[in-house]
Amino acid sequence: MSLLIQNGIVVNDDFMVKADVLIENGTIREVGKDFPIPENTRVIDATNRLILPGGIDPHTHMQLPFMGQVAVDDFYAGTRAALAGGTTMIVDFVIPSKDSTPLEAYSLWRNWADPKVCCDYALSMAITTWNDKVAEEMQLLTTPEYGINSFKFFLAYKNVFMVRDGEFFQGLKQCAKIGALARVHAENGDVIAEKQQELLQLGVTGPEGHTQSRQEELEAEATNRACTLAGQANCPLYVVHVMSKGAAKAIAAHRQKGYVVFGEPIAAGLACDGRHYYNEDWSHAAAYVLSPPLSRDPNTPETLMDLLSCNQLNLTATDNCTFTCSQKRMGLNDFTKIPNGVNGVEDRMSVVWEKGVHAGKIDPMRFVAITSSTAARIFNMYPRKGRIQPGSDADLVVWNPNATRVISSKTHHHACDFNIFEGMEVHGVPEITICRGKVVWENGELNVDAGWGRFIPVAPNCDYVFGAVKARQKHLQPISVKRNLTSLDNNLIPPQSESTNSSSLENSDLEAVVSDNKPGDQEEQSIETLIKEVAENLISE
């Protein structure tokens, strides 16, 4: 059966127009007016409504095994919640434990997700250890058979997921080589581990210890470091869950220098702040424990939205990783054992509308960009996803910008029993959600089938991500200066030892000297020193 959405305003990230949308076989067939309507077409009236591309949440952790628990939103509950909130696609993370390989973990995640997903999904792979096999598997994972085009590195969670800078740098270089986007959780894991112990020893055991052990500077420092290292590897970088002004500033500074860096704030960070950690109710405070923590500066949420509005930050996600209050109680006597993670996938669209469009900071087109189309572009699935035009997947939301609702755990579709946005009134309500042509959410009811969602393989070498990087690569070729050393003062050149088989260093050019250089050979090192000096002089001239 075909579907016609009439009389609404179609919103893409670059234009808004009053138009009808015809859907056939899961795909958008027509966008416009007065086109022929097939028989047996269901008509949806969208008068006074916007028709938006379905939301894409580029950062979720459904049923993640983490900190001794398993996130309670599995691929069924989590994707149902997504659809109820107007999100029609997620990008979830495969996170191999240190003793398994990326390929093993990939199969595990596919087996978990495929039978349960109610909306489409793609995968991003975390790299939690480094060796040649991991590098090889990264390459394999970018082939069409596996369909992965991004890899995430944790600079926190010491001894669990964290990689060291050297490993991270190798990973960045490999990403650049295979045309994959690098993603990073940026916090200084070593310092956090020490701070945690210090606080516990001082008797700070509650959730307030979480924020005190993870000072914002540690996020800013790691973000700056990650951007710097990505620049050195000439690798595009995507910073997940940007939670603080300092981290956002580091991203903006690198973007201003021309680095390809994307910054992703999450719904939690746009609507909540770190005062919750000091709530006297332990369960309340623990419910907000995620990493990096919510900012203790109450102005941060607004600043993050301001930066989204001017594209210094680029898209929104949720980091949806939910635990029940009883799971959180694992850390009752020790905040370092509280499972990290919060909800978001159901409420992100409304929260971003409220804080962005309703607050007067962005227009509906920018809303589409930061909730859907930029994710589609970055992960190389645009315009199949994130766009309302003929040929695109029919993932749509009929959005009522004037309606309001109050967020509550009593009415949400998550499997957890706490909602971090509890009591928040939001304007902007997803009244109908359509996922690949199927009406899955309507009149406050879900009509979904486990396994309806499809895995969407994504290809590497995305122009949106790599275009600028490739252009820059041309200007980053190592420079070698050919020069005739005979013109140099002979006194500066140490005499050749018997053992040097290079017949005449005076006649050699720089390349030959560099490639012949054997570490530990004192005489050749002094030549190297000399050449360095000459090169430095040339540069300073």
Ligand X SMILES: NC(=O)NCCC(=O)O
Residue whose CB is nearest to ligand X in the complex, by number: 340
Q: Report if residue 92 touches Zn ion, rule: CB under 5 A.
A: no
Q: How far is the CB of 399 from Zn ion (least distance, A)?
A: 26
Say what angle helices 102-113 and 132-141 make with each other, to 10 degrees: 40
* Residue 199 interface partner, choices ligand X, Zn ion, none, CB cut-off 5-8 Å depending on type: none
Q: How far is the CB of 93 from ligand X (least distance, A)?
A: 7
Beta carbon of residue 125, minimum distance to ligand X (angstroms, whole number): 14
Using CB under 6 A as the binding rule, the residues of this chain from 382 to 421 that contact ligand X are none
Residues 91, 133: Cα–Cα separation, whole Å = 25
Helices (H), 288-380: 300-309, 325-328, 348-352, 364-368, 374-378
Does 319 bind Zn ion (CB under 5 A)? Our answer is yes
SS (H, E, C) 251-293: HHHHHHCCCCEEECCEHHHHHCCHHHHHCCCHHHHHHCCCCCC
CB of 503 to ligand X, least distance (A): 59
Is 185 a binding residue for Zn ion by CB under 5 A? The answer is yes
Task: Choose from ligand X, Zn ion, none: what does 8 bind? Cβ within 5-8 Å by kind.
Answer: none
Mode of pairing for the β-strands spanning 396-406 and 50-53: antiparallel
- Residue 85 is which amino acid? G
Range in contact with Zn ion (rule: CB under 5 A) among 281-289, 314-322, 448-456, 508-516: 314-322
> Per-residue contact track with ligand X, 259 to 298, x per CB under 6 A?
-------------------------------xx-------
In the complex with ligand X, the residue whose CB is nearer, 78 or 430, is 78
Contact partner at residue 340 from Zn ion, ligand X, none, CB < 5 to 8 Å by partner kind: ligand X
Least distance between ligand X and beta carbon 69 (Å): 11
- Residue with smaller CB distance to ligand X, 72 or 362: 72
Q: How far apart are CA 306 and CA 283, in angstroms?
A: 31
CB of 124 to ligand X, least distance (A): 11
Integer Cα distance of 367 and 39 in angstroms: 34
User: Which of 8, 54, 265, 341 touches ligand X by CB under 6 A?
Assistant: 341
Pick 149 or 291: Cβ nearer ligand X: 291
Q: Give residues 480-539 in contact with ligand X (rule: CB under 6 A).
A: none
Neighbours of 271 (CB within 10 A): 24
- Is 319 near ligand X (CB under 6 A)? yes
Measure Cα distances from 142 to 104, 174, 182, 466, 497 in Å: 15, 12, 13, 15, 52
Binding mask 165-204 for ligand X (x = CB under 6 A): --------------------x-------------------
Q: Footprint of ligand X on residues 112-151 (CB under 6 A)?
A: none
Instruction: Give whichever of 185 and 366 is closer to ligand X, judged by the CB atom.
Output: 185
290 binds, among Zn ion, ligand X, none (CB under 5 to 8 A by kind): ligand X
Three-state secondary structure call for residue 435: strand
Given 60, 295, 340, 400, the residue binding ligand X (CB under 6 A) = 340
The CA–CA distances, whole Å, from 387 to 11, 393, 395 equal 9, 8, 9
CA separation for the pair 96, 128 (Å, rounded): 7
Give the list of residues 6+ apart from residue 94 with CB closer than 8 angstroms, or none.
Answer: 102, 105, 106, 108, 109, 123, 124, 125, 126, 148
| Residue 211 and residue 294 in contact, taking contact as beta carbons nearer than 8 Å | yes
Q: Which is nearer to Zn ion, 185 or 438 (CB)?
A: 185
Query: Chain-centre distance of CA 443, in angstroms?
Result: 32
Residue (19 or 267) nearer to Zn ion, CB: 267
Task: Collect contacts of 164-172 with beta carbons under 8 A, ≥24 apart.
Answer: 165/225, 165/229, 167/129, 167/130, 168/226, 168/229, 169/229, 169/232, 169/233, 170/130, 170/135, 171/127, 171/130, 171/138, 172/229, 172/230, 172/232, 172/233, 172/235, 172/237
Rg of the chain over CA atoms, in angstroms? 27
CB of 267 to ligand X, least distance (A): 12
Rounded to a whole number of angstroms, the minimum distance from the CB of residue 239 to Zn ion is 10
Interatomic CA distance for residues 189 and 129, integer angstroms: 15
Angstrom distance (rounded) from CA 485 to CA 481:
11
Q: How far is the CB of 270 from Zn ion (least distance, A)?
A: 16
Q: How many residues bind ligand X (CB under 6 A)?
A: 9
Site for ligand X contains 90 (CB under 6 A) = no
Q: Which is nearer to Zn ion, 185 or 413 (CB)?
A: 185
DSSP letter string, 105-130: HHHHHHHHHTTT-SSEEEEEEEE-S-
Report the residue number, 171 or 341, with the smaller CB distance to ligand X. 341
| Dihedral over Cα of 416, 214, 109, 114: its sign | positive
Euclidean distance between CA atoms 33 and 43, whole angstroms: 14
**Shortest distance, position 61 Cβ to Zn ion, whole Å:** 5
Using CB under 6 A, which of 72, 82, 321, 394 touches ligand X?
321
51 versus 240: smaller Cβ distance to Zn ion: 240
Closest CA to 190 of 212, 222, 226, 220: 222
Q: How far is the CB of 449 from ligand X (least distance, A)?
A: 28
Whose Cβ is closer to ligand X: residue 59's or residue 412's? 59
The least CB distance from residue 341 to ligand X, in Å, is 4
Which residue of 4, 23, 58, 61 would you call a contact of ligand X, by CB under 6 A? Answer: 61
* DSSP string across 34-50: S----SSEEEEE-TT-E
Which residues bind to Zn ion, rule: CB under 5 A?
A: 185, 319
Q: Which residues bind ligand X (CB under 6 A)?
A: 61, 185, 241, 290-291, 319, 321, 340-341
